Structures are given as structure tokens and as C-alpha cells.
């Protein structure tokens, strides 16, 4: 604390009880500010046992002893009032997000640091032909390659390259505009939960992989996603679900709307990349997306 850093202690429940006893005592004194107490609980005793066995560092007797102690610690730790916060470690990323939120609540100045280290992705959605790609490109042009020091620049945003089963349009490059792949490969990725969202749109599959997002955020850039409204619904459904998990910070959602359906139709026709049937299908979908 002398170096103006927040001190974190990793101690067991018995240590917590000893500190609390000293705080409550009139005969003893705590020579530091009273700590905040956070209890990290397992999702269940069964999962805790499996974790202990998986690390293969204790004997059977040690495992049984740890489980016995853990049962008492969980009972004390989850009892109201014993801890300032309780975090269920059912998933490392989700538990970390919960811990970060608790720390920011106690130390508000950490919020800017947290956002820099783990920026929330930005989802830009809207009907096909509304100009999402153009707007995203302008953001990338304006906020990337910014000089920060002599001979040094910084990119603040990065684009998440989605997967799709559709054929490339003229001028599109694999790995830059999309990862072009087969329906079988996409379904295999879905099976292994590799997508934050996926959807079938206009007869083709589109999906945003966790790897694509994390490759951007790993370089401390804010990730921008270009997806349709169906993809937005899928992400929101996953966020709200207790049975699924979002392995990234919750995104911010931006909707880009056309000035009118007539102008949107003209834009679709002007780019001359779809058949008449495709244009009509996109316009029908766009009406529902704008309403949402």
C-alpha cells in the first residue's frame, strides 16, 4: 500500500475468521484499514472434487480432507454477512468479469483500466445494404495508426472477420472480408461452440468466432463486429441464458438504419451483386430488422 497499490491477500476461511475476530475485539487492533472480503465458491462440491482430482497433486487422503474442509468453508462463505461479495467460479472468464465488477464498485478509478485491458466489443448491425461496412471502414481509418510516440502508432479498433458459406463477391479477399468456408465446416464449428453467434441468412451461414474476437482484443484493440439482427438476437439470448456462457465481455450494440426502405432498395440495386429474387428477400428481411 505504501506504493499506492491495492493489496490483495489470498488466505483461507480460517484466516478470514481470525482477521474478523481481531476487528471485533476491543483488546486488539488491526494496524491496517479494514479489508473487503471476497469469497470464491465452487459451482458444486462435485465439480470442486473433480478439479482437485484433475490437478493430480494430492493423495486420496488429502483430497478427502480438503473436501471436508471445503464443505465447512462454503457453508460459512455463502452465509449472508460473512463476506462482502461472493463469486461463483463456474467459468473462469465469467468469474473474472464478476470480480472486476466488484473491484470497480469499490475502487471506481479502476474502471478506465478495466476497459483498456478488456474492452467491450462493439456490434454494428443493420439491414443488408445499409452501409455498415462503409461506416466501420471509416472508424478504422480515423482511429487506427494514431501517432503516440516518435516512430510509434497505435490502432484503437480492429475488425472481427466472420465466417461464411457464401461465395466471395468481386474484390473480396479470404481472411480480410470473410473467412470463406463450407457448410460442413461451419456446422462442425457450431458443434464445438466456437461461435459467439451464428445464423443462416439469405440461404448462407454466417458466424462470428470467439477466436476472431479474441485475436483483436488480445492486442488491446476494441473489436468491431458487423453482423445482422438475427446475430444480435442470438448474442442477447446467450447473455440472458443461464445454461450458456459468453466467453467475451458483453458487447455494446449499435443499429444502423436506412433513411427509408426506398433508398435501401436503390442501394441494393446499385451495387449489382444480387439477383432480383435476392433483392426482394433482403428487403423483406430488412423491414423486420428495422422494426426490431
Whether 55 is a known active-site residue: answer: no
Please answer whether residues 127 and 258 qualify as being in contact, where contact means their C-beta atoms are separated by less than 8 angstroms.
yes
Q: How many domains does the chain have?
A: 2
For residues 137 and 244, membership in a common domain is answered with yes
Same domain, 98 and 124: no
Nearest Cα residue to 122 out of 176, 85, 163, 158: 158
Same domain, 77 and 177: no
Q: Are residues 163 and 270 in the same domain?
A: yes
Residue 115: pLDDT over 60: no
CA distance 187 to 164: 11
Q: What is the residue range of 104's domain?
A: 13-116
Mean local confidence (pLDDT), 91-102: 79
Cell numbers placing 89: 467460479
4: in domain: no
For 141-154, what is each residue's pLDDT tens digit? 998 888 877 788 88
**Domain shared by 107 and 205, yes or no:** no
d(CA 166, CA 42): 43
Separation between Cα atoms, residue 289 and residue 292, nearest integer Å: 5
Same domain, 158 and 196: yes
Which residue is catalytic, options 51, 53, 269, 271?
Answer: 271
Last residue of a domain, one of 67, 101, 116: 116
Does residue 260 surpass a pLDDT of 90?
A: yes
The mean pLDDT value of the chain amounts to 87
Pick from 81, 116, 151: which residue ends a domain?
116
Q: What is the pLDDT of residue 230?
A: 86
pLDDT at res. 23:
83
pLDDT at residue 167, as a whole number: 92
DSSP letter string over 32-68?
SPPPP-EEEE-S-HHHHHHHHHHTT-S-HHHHHHHHH
The pLDDT of residue 111 is above 80: no
Residues 163 and 42 in one domain: no
When pLDDT is averaged across residues 165-175 and rounded to a whole number, the result is 92
C-alpha cell at 44: 458444486
Contacts of 224 (CB under 8 A, 6+ apart): 121, 122, 124, 136, 139, 140, 157, 158, 159, 160
Could you tell me if 87 and 155 lie in one domain? no
pLDDT one-digit tens code per residue, 203-246 = 899 999 999 998 888 888 899 999 888 889 988 888 777 555 66
Give dist(CA 222, CA 219) in Å, integer. Answer: 9
| Residue at a domain's end among 116, 147, 162 | 116
Q: Which of 114-123, 227-236, 260-269 has the lowest mean pLDDT?
A: 114-123
| Residue at 277 is within a domain | yes
> Residues 250-277: what's their mean pLDDT?
91
Residue 123, domain CATH: 3.40.50.300
3-state SS class at 206: strand
What was the pLDDT predicted at 181? 96
pLDDT tops 90 at residue 100:
no
Length of the chain: 292
Quick check: is 189 in a domain?
A: yes
Is 66 a catalytic site residue? no
* Residues in a beta bridge with 40: 87
- Tens-place pLDDT, residues 17-69: 988 888 887 666 767 788 899 999 998 999 999 999 998 888 999 999 999 99
Residue 94 in domain: yes
Q: Can you give the pLDDT at residue 33?
A: 82
Query: Bigger pLDDT: 108 or 62?
Result: 62
- 271 in active site: yes
Catalytic, out of 51, 53, 169, 269 = 169
Q: Residue 3: its pLDDT value, please?
A: 75
Output the pLDDT for position 114.
54
CB 77 within 8 A of CB 231: no
What distance lies between CA 269 and its chain's CA centroid? 36
| Residues 198, 103 within the same domain | no
Question: Which pLDDT value is given to residue 109?
Answer: 74
Query: Taken in order 51, 235, 199, 273, is the CA torsion positive or negative?
Result: negative
Nearest C-alpha neighbor of 179 from the set 192, 168, 193: 168
Tell me if 97 sits within 8 A of 86, measured CB to CB: no
* 132 in the same domain as 84: no
Verify that 140 and 203 share a domain, yes or no. Answer: yes
Asked whether the predicted pLDDT for residue 103 surpasses 60, the reply is yes
Classify residue 92: in a domain, yes or no: yes
* Angle made by CA atoms 113, 115, 119, in degrees to the nearest 5: 140
What is the H or E stretch that residue 204 is in? strand 204-209
Amino acid at each position: 500500500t505504501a506504493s499506492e497499490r491495492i493489496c490483495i491477500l489470498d488466505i483461507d476461511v480460517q484466516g478470514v475468521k481470525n482477521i474478523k475476530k481481531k476487528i471485533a475485539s476491543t483488546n486488539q487492533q488491526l494496524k491496517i484499514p479494514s479489508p473487503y472480503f471476497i469469497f470464491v465458491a465452487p459451482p458444486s462440491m462435485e465439480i470442486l472434487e473433480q478439479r482437485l482430482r484433475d490437478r493430480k497433486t494430492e493423495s486420496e487422503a488429502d483430497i478427502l480432507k480438503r473436501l471436508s474442509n471445503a464443505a465447512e468453508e462454503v457453508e460459512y462463505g455463502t452465509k449472508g454477512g460473512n463476506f462482502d461479495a461472493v463469486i461463483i467460479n463456474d467459468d473462469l472468464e465469467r468469474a473474472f468479469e464478476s470480480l472486476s465488477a466488484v473491484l470497480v464498485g469499490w475502487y471506481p478509478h479502476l474502471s478506465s483500466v478495466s476497459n483498456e485491458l478488456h474492452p467491450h466489443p462493439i456490434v454494428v448491425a443493420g439491414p443488408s445494404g445499409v452501409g455498415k461496412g462503409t461506416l466501420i471502414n471509416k472508424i478504422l481509418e480515423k482511429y487506427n495508426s494514431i501517432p503516440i510516440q516518435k516512430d510509434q502508432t497505435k490502432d484503437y479498433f480492429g475488425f472481427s472477420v466472420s465466417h461464411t458459406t457464401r461465395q466471395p463477391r468481386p474484390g473480396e479477399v479470404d481472411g480480410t472480408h470473410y473467412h470463406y468456408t463450407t457448410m460442413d465446416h461451419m456446422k462442425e464449428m457450431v458443434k464445438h461452440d466456437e461461435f459467439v453467434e451464428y445464423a443462416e441468412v439469405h440461404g448462407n451461414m454466417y458466424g462470428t468466432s470467439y477466436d476472431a474476437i479474441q485475436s483483436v482484443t488480445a492486442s488491446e484493440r476494441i473489436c468491431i463486429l458487423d453482423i445482422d439482427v438475427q446475430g444480435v438476437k442470438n448474442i442477447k439470448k446467450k447473455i440472458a441464458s443461464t445454461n450458456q456462457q459468453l466467453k467475451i465481455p458483453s458487447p455494446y450494440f449499435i443499429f444502423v438504419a436506412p433513411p427509408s426502405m426506398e433508398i435501401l432498395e436503390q442501394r441494393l440495386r446499385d451495387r449489382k451483386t444480387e439477383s432480383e429474387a435476392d433483392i426482394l428477400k433482403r428487403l423483406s428481411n430488412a423491414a423486420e430488422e428495422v422494426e426490431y
